[in-house]
Amino acid sequence: MTPEQIRSEIEAAIPGCSVEVAPNGAVPGQASLAVDRLHALEAAWFLRRHPGLLLDFCSNVAGVDWLDREISEKVKVRKLVDGVEQEAEETRKSKIPGRLEAVYHLFSIEKKQGPVILRVRTENRSDRVEIPSLTPVWRSAEFQEREIFDLYGIVFTGHPDLRRLLMWEGFTDHPMRKDYVPPPEDDGPQDPRGAVGKEAAAG
């Protein structure tokens, strides 16, 4: 099934659910399905139980951080210049607000098919970062969602045990975010232009 077919089936089965097919520019270029967060859990159950898909195996859950981006594209517009209609190029700038994203790679062990790629997006990167947890559907998401909560700060509502996975308790930041500033290292590479380096260089 193509992503477009899956999309129309989801939208037909779940009223009010909006699914967007996100394109992919890579060489194999498999498009993914961006499901709106209110209906993500229902859509996940639908995909798992769908007789033609039977996506019983959620392999990989990855968090992605998208910063605010500005895209400028050139558009051809027709305008009236001195009473004559002319074609002119205009640069339009559109702002894509930053958001966090959880990407689920779903396979079917039963049918030996896959993957179907599901994306669930948060509203923004700062305060509205809740999306529903898909752990009730696939338990393999349990630790991976915890990891995303830890490293990206997405809050998965409905997760049975949402705690930090890799960083320690009491750590406050989210180190995989693109704007994360690490604390100064004390065991990184030595600066050879520093005192020790000059001594070593001298022999």
Closest contact distance (angstroms) between CB of 62 and other proteins is: 4
The dihedral region occupied by 54, where left means phi > 0, alpha psi between -120 and 50, and beta the remainder, is: left
Task: Extract long-range pairs of 176-179: CB within 8 Å, 24+ residues apart.
Answer: 176/63, 176/65, 176/151, 176/152, 177/65, 177/125, 177/151, 177/152, 177/153, 178/65, 178/67, 179/67
* 65, β-bridge pairs: 100
**Residue 190 contacts other proteins per CB under 8 A:** yes
Nearest to 117 by CA among 193, 188, 35: 35
Q: Which of 12, 15, 16, 26 binds other proteins (CB under 8 A)?
A: 26
**Residue 192 contacts other proteins per CB under 8 A:** yes
Give the range of 7-15, 21-29, 34-42, 70-78 binding other proteins by CB under 8 A: 21-29
In the complex with other proteins, which residue's Cβ is closer, 36 or 56? 56
How far is 171 from 164, CA to CA, in rounded Å? 9
**Dihedral Cα 164, 166, 170, 171, nearest 10 deg:** -110
Q: Which of 33, 44, 117, 131 binds other proteins (CB under 8 A)?
A: 117
Q: Per CB under 8 A, which of residues 45..84 are in contact with other proteins?
A: 56-60, 62, 64
Site string for other proteins, 129-168 (x = CB under 8 A): ---------xxxxxxx------x---------x-xxxxxx
Query: How is residue 18 written in tokens?
Result: 């909006």
Nearest to 147 by CA among 167, 131, 165: 165
In the complex with other proteins, which residue's Cβ is closer, 38 or 165? 165
Half-sphere exposure of 135 (CA within 13 A, CB side): 18
**Residue 11 contacts other proteins per CB under 8 A:** no
In the complex with other proteins, which residue's Cβ is closer, 70 or 85? 70
Kindly list the residues in this chain that would bind other proteins in the complex (CB under 8 A): 24-29, 32, 56-60, 62, 64, 103, 105, 109, 112, 115, 117, 138-144, 151, 161, 163-168, 175-176, 180, 188-193, 196-197, 199-203
